[in-house]
Structure 1
Amino acid sequence: MARHTIYEVAAAAGVSIATVSRVLSKPDVVSPATRERVMSAVEALNYVPTGAARSLAARTNEAFGLVLYELRGPYYAELLSGFEAAAAAREASVVVTLTKNRTHVDQAVRRLAGRVDALAVQAGADVAPVTLEALRRKIPVVMIAGGDDADSFSTENLVSARDLTGHLIDVHGRSSLLFVGNPALAPDIEGRHRGFVEAHLERGLTPRPPVPCQAIESEGAGIAHAMLAGELGADALVCANDELALAIMKGLHGGPIEVPGEVSVTGWDDMMAARYIAPGLTTVRQPVRELGRLVADRIGQLLAGHASSEPARRLPTTVVLRQSCGCP
């Protein structure tokens, strides 16, 4: 397939190539109407800046791009650590783009594609499918925590969430469980919620709707406050990650709602604090550093011309039982 040029984009949008360049590099300095015309032409032509098209053949950049929603929290630290170590082993640097709070996510990702040899993109980073499809025609793109082909890697979510929820129901007799987290925010959280739902349905129970929130400390503190105020009731909280769970436990500590006496609390990630808090946090351990390493290794294989017909790789996770669910 012929590669379209910046001149064709400019002609299609009725602007100069300088304007196209400004839209791609500094979109905020261009009027919304002009920006929309240029980006429509970019998407219609599947245009990617020239550097990205050169990189696959010439490897002139010697860099892997990593597109993440944010870098806050231990999950991202572990993911980046594994990814960077594997890239360094191949003598490649890592260029990171974060999409949280960005107004023009797809433009930023297209610019990044012009500076690197390949991209790893987190499924929850809000990159449009049409942009990903266009980029795949130019450089290797590997998906993290989403996708269903050979160039997609994730950790297992549904089975462990189903087992953990079943444990709360069968072993600890919990009957009013809540899933804390927003399934619409990311495929991995959606998978955990599906496991929560399946555990209920398998037992002939009707799951309660989730408590939609971001998986961050301040949201967990707010949920603890709502429980103490009598605005939210449950005898078990299955949280989307450890950060939420630990914040809830801290907020409830010393109050009338005891963990695990009145309410079981579980998390996801098995961050270091989960092992040392009292009571210890029941959670799910996932190999995030290994996930990052495998993604970078796959990029290296693709750049070397090694295609794969294998299905998406899903790494196993492990339920870790501690005292916060009621276990001794």
Structure 2
Amino acid sequence: MAKAPTVYDVAERAGVSIATVSFAFRRPEKVKASTRDMVLAVAREMGYVPSASARGLAHGRTRAIGLFAFDYLLDSLDRQPPTAAAGSGPADPAGVVEVADPNEDFRLFPLYVDEIQRGVGLECWRRGYALLIGGRGHADTDAVIADIAGRVDALAVFPRTVPADTLQRISRRMPVVELSEPGQLDELNHVTVDNVRGTRAVTDHLITAHRLTDFGFLGDTTGSDQQARFTGFRAALRAAGLRVPRKSLSPNGTTTFDTGAIVDRLVASGHLPKALVCATDQDALAAIDALRRAGVTVPGDVAVVGFDGIVAGRIGHPTLTTVRQPMEQMGREVVDILVSQLDQPGQPPIRRELPTRVVIRESCGCPTS
């Protein structure tokens, strides 16, 4: 196999410095357009590909950022209701018709995680960083996170994916950003949104615009973001002089796959509130499905609102009133913080809280436009 061309080979043939070749690939805006086009043409002709490992050796960095996420379906697998028995559908001798899996819901994608991941990826690409994505699945978390952390310069994590003591340990040797509300004794960087104000605003809309007085909060409040949303919900009810629930209708640890069963029990008990404020859009969409199966209309009998602003909320029926958080921008902010911490080591933790906005659609009872 022929020896791969190096940056020195390209620079010699193009008649430029190795710095110009490097900038042509990594910082093209710093190179005159005609020079950049000439360098790239020479590189293509020679079959030159920049070496990330060589750059890392030269600068003491990998120029890679890690993102530790989670697989929503894998993490919830054990909580899903049983699938339909094999062969329960019509016979298909040719094997070309697939019986639909009732648990395979098109509305699961893209989720909050996917949209933030897209923002991280776009900003890494813009800044010339590689992105390494990993997740827990059913593997040992410490082993997986250690493998990722060993390959990157900085790390971003979604909430409740990595134990707090593990994150604190990693943060002593590289910048770490968590996509959540900060904890009390937390020294990490954080990117989040104004969860309290967003949920309070959508609850206020139900109170003032629709004159609703009977409320329930649906969703797990174990996480700091969801707890903040529950706080905003309770604040709105308290300010309006309404009854303030002490806890969510969903037990802690509940997943979206449990939401239907919770709604079924509420309907059967006769204690279904007139308005359900949900911790996430996924909770809201699952609740709407369960209410429909029970013969309860949304928004005729019960108003339902969510939080996130995922695509599925725009295409279901009724369309979902929600609190939209700027998910792509959150991903970009993550990269901005990590690069800033890499460029200026020793900074105090950076914490950014982005605004939210209420998006009014049909599920709260507002007319369609």
The bucket for the TM-score relative to the shorter chain is: 0.7 to 0.9
Counterparts of 1:101 and 1:189, CA distance in 2:
24
CA 183–63 in structure 1, closer or farther in 2 if over 3 Å, else same: same
Segments of 5+ residues of structure 2 without an aligned counterpart are: 1-55, 74-108
Counterparts of 1:266 and 1:66, CA distance in 2:
30
2:26 matched to which residue of 1? Answer: none
Alpha carbons 2:171, 2:188 under 8 Å: kept: no
Counterparts of 1:194 and 1:78, CA distance in 2:
25
Counterparts of 1:84 and 1:279, CA distance in 2:
32
Amino acid at match of 1:64: I
SS, match of residue 96 in structure 1: strand
Counterparts of 1:205 and 1:236, CA distance in 2:
13
CA 55–281 in structure 1, closer or farther in 2 if over 3 Å, else same: farther
1:65 matched to which residue of 2? Answer: 66
Amino acid at match of 2:209: V
CA 215–246 in structure 1, closer or farther in 2 if over 3 Å, else same: farther
1:222 matched to which residue of 2? Answer: 261
Aligned counterparts, 1:69-88, within 5 A: 69-70=70-71, 73=109, 74-88=111-125
Deviations 1:267-298 (A, max 9, x none): 11222232233322111111101101110122
2:196 matched to which residue of 1? Answer: 158
Matched, 1:117 2:183: no
1:108 matched to which residue of 2? Answer: 144
Post-superposition offset of 1:200: 1.8
Matched, 1:284 2:285: no
Q: Quote the RMSD (CA, aligned, Å).
A: 2.7
CA 191–57 in structure 1, closer or farther in 2 if over 3 Å, else same: farther
SS, match of residue 338 in structure 2: helix
Counterparts of 2:225 and 2:58, CA distance in 1:
30
Segments of 5+ residues of structure 1 without an aligned counterpart are: 1-53
| Alignment equivalent of 1:243, drawn from 282, 297, 301 | 282
Counterparts of 1:85 and 1:224, CA distance in 2:
39
Amino acid at match of 2:197: V
2:244 matched to which residue of 1? Answer: 207
TM-score, length-scaled by structure 2: 0.66
| Alignment equivalent of 1:178, drawn from 216, 230, 241 | 216
Matched, 1:316 2:368: no
Counterparts of 2:58 and 2:269, CA distance in 1:
58
1:187 matched to which residue of 2? Answer: 224
Matched, 1:93 2:95: no
| Alignment equivalent of 1:272, drawn from 311, 336, 342 | 311
CA 134–255 in structure 1, closer or farther in 2 if over 3 Å, else same: closer
Counterparts of 2:192 and 2:224, CA distance in 1:
10
Deviations 1:201-250 (A, max 9, x none): 22333322202256754223223422443365111111111112112212
SS, match of residue 160 in structure 1: helix
Amino acid at match of 1:58: G
Counterparts of 2:269 and 2:72, CA distance in 1:
34
SS, match of residue 237 in structure 2: helix
2:163 matched to which residue of 1? Answer: 127
Alpha carbons 2:326, 2:356 under 8 Å: kept: yes
SS, match of residue 234 in structure 1: coil
SS, match of residue 277 in structure 2: strand
1:167 matched to which residue of 2? Answer: 205
CA 170–112 in structure 1, closer or farther in 2 if over 3 Å, else same: same
| Alignment equivalent of 2:299, drawn from 260, 268, 272 | 260
CA 71–80 in structure 1, closer or farther in 2 if over 3 Å, else same: farther
SS, match of residue 294 in structure 1: helix
Counterparts of 1:85 and 1:196, CA distance in 2:
34
Amino acid at match of 2:321: T
TM-score, length-scaled by structure 1: 0.74
Amino acid at match of 2:119: G
Aligned residue-pair number = 271
Counterparts of 1:207 and 1:245, CA distance in 2:
20
Alpha carbons 2:220, 2:255 under 8 Å: kept: no
